[in-house]
Structure 1
Amino acid sequence: MDEVEVVVAHSERATLRVGDVFLKVDADQKRLDVEVAAMALAPVPTPEILWRKPPVLAIAAVPGTALGRLGEPSTASPAAWAAAGAAIRTLHDAPLPPWPSRGKDLAELTADLDSECEQLVTNGVLPADLVDRNRQVAEAALRPWTPLFTHGDLQLTHIFVDGAEITGIIDWSEAGPGDAMSDLATLTLGHEERLDDVVAGYGTDADLDVIRAWWSQRSLLVIRWLAGHGFDPFAPGCEVDVLKSRM
């Protein structure tokens, strides 16, 4: 009998694996709605939906291996990273999905970032100079953007490859109209050495300054949440190290 593996679990959602089946349990019905709709629309490889019975979505495992993992060196080839960039470009060039962005607008994002920076310093989570420097870097991402079809949570564990072929992109619950550079930044977070490979596949209009700004912004915004949900942003190569690399 296959064992039940807890892939990720916190108060908002959980993902379990039983053999070649993933069971996603989500307290937010809208996230599952978005996930199903996005996978149907996305012009890139996505998992097969086996069945759905709210609050559970069952999907089949995709072949291949994850592009990498935050905090660990990626063994994927430069060609695989370039293929990931090309797949993201295909997604961004697709028609916008027919639902509003699940993200925040520029004013809300700026306010949240300023509040989070204050909390990080006030609560002694990070030193003020580290927070201040990365808040300056993050400013480049706080600009108007043209919404494109984005994945919304494009961590490198969400892209699967076989050699230089993309075999599947998973976890679409945050998909919708958004900032294309945020997708590229999330993918390359903690793997700055792979950015050139991704851009080679994506195309020349990738804004490297904005991508780097998103590294700082994303890290600042998630550190306290991660620490409060059983993850370690202080682990080598993870979010705090990403912030330190901007100093």
Structure 2
Amino acid sequence: MDEVEVVVAHSERATLRVGDVFLKVDADQARMDVEVEVMSLAPVPTPKVLWRRPPVLALAALEGTTLGRLGGPSTGSSAAWAAAGAAIRKLHEAPLPPLPGRAGQSTAALAAKLDAECELLGTNGLLPADLVTRNRRVAEAALRPWTPAFTHGDLQIAHVFVDGDEVTGIIDWSEAGRGDALYDLATFTLGHEEHLADVLAGYGTDIDLDVIHAWWSLRSLLSVRWLVAHGFDPFAPGCEVDVLRSRA
């Protein structure tokens, strides 16, 4: 019998791998509904749905390997990163899905959330006050009007699979929906700034780099306390706190 591998697990959901099958366990039925619906609409390769028995969704494994992970080295070539950029552009140009996504928060709501999070980070001493202040200033550039696009909403490099220089699939669509395209690009290149030029070469259109940098700061500021509370380490080399230090 195949061993059970815990891919990721926290209080909100868990993903297990058994052989060539991924089992996603999520108590939030609406979030699972989003994942299944959006995968059927996305114009890029996605995992095949094998079966669904709430709260479990079974997906077929994808060919290839991921481009890497936050805090670790990239395993992909420049051409693979460019191919990922082209796939992301194809997604962003697709007809809009019928639901808002994680990347679709209003500017006002996001600013309020950022202000509250920065205040908490300062008062609990989790991060140096000057580091929070400087990154809060950098993050301002992300708080601007944007045109809605079909976004993934959690486009970490660990969610993109490649075989050679070809994208074989993108996983974890539960945060997808209408949103800011630059949020996806920033999430994908977070902690791997050295490949930003490759991604944008594949994406094929001019991008405001200040907004990408702003999203790096904003996403990291909003993530640190959640990650600590759920057993992850944003202070590990190359992870969120290092991203904040690089922006400051």
Normalised to the residue count of structure 2, the TM-score between the two structures is 0.98
Separation (CA, whole Å) in 2 of partners of 1:126 and 1:198: 30
* Map of 1:69 onto structure 2: 69
Q: Which whole-Å deviations, capped at 9, do the CAs of 1:134-174 have from their partners, x for residues lacking one?
A: 00000000111111000000000000001100001000000
In the alignment, structure 1 segments of 5+ residues that lack a partner are none
Runs of 4+ in 1 over 6 A off after TM superposition: none
Q: Match of 1:135?
A: 136
Match of 2:169, SS state, is strand
Shift of 1:68: 0.9
Deviation of residue 246 (structure 1)? Answer: 1.1
Instruction: Say whether 1:9 aligns with 2:9.
Output: yes
Which residue number in structure 2 is paired with residue 233 of structure 1?
A: 234
Give CA deviations for 1:169-206 in whole Å, capped at 9, x if unaligned.
00000000000000000000000010000000002222
Q: Which residue of 1 aligns with 2:29?
A: 29
On the 8 A contact 2:6/2:15 being kept in 1, the answer is yes
| 1:85 aligns to 2:68 (yes or no) | no
Report the CA distance between 1:99 and its aligned residue: 1.9
Shift of 1:104: 2.4
Q: For the residues of structure 2 that align with 1:62 and 1:159, how far apart are their CA atoms? A: 10
Say which SS state the counterpart of residue 15 (structure 2) adopts.
strand
SS of the residue aligned with 2:46? coil
Q: Partners in 1 of 2:144 and 2:99 — Cα distance?
A: 22
* Residues 43-192 of structure 1 aligned to structure 2 (within 5 Å): 43-102=43-102, 103-192=104-193
Preserved contact between residue 159 and residue 170 of structure 2 (Cα < 8 Å): yes
CA distance in 2, matches of 1:172, 1:101: 10
Provide the rounded CA distance (Å) in 2 between the counterparts of 1:180 and 1:16: 29
User: d(CA) in 2 for partners of 1:179 and 1:191?
Assistant: 20
Partners of 1:99 and 1:22 in 2: CA distance: 25
Indicate conservation of the 8 Å contact 2:93/2:150, yes or no: yes
Percentage identity across paired residues of the two chains: 79
**Aligned-pair distance for 1:207?**
1.8
Q: Provide the C-alpha distance between the structure 1 equivalents of 2:247 and 2:99, rounded to a whole number of angstroms.
A: 35
* CA contact 2:101–2:153 (8 Å) conserved in 1: no
Give deviations 1:82-117, integer Å, cap 9, x for gaps: 000000000000000112334421111100101101
TM (norm. structure 1) is: 0.98
**The residue matched to 1:119 in structure 2 has which SS?**
helix
Q: CA deviation at 1:216?
A: 0.1
Q: Distance in 1 between matches of 2:217 and 2:191?
A: 11
Q: Provide the aligned C-alpha RMSD in A.
A: 0.8
CA distance in 2, matches of 1:56, 1:206: 38
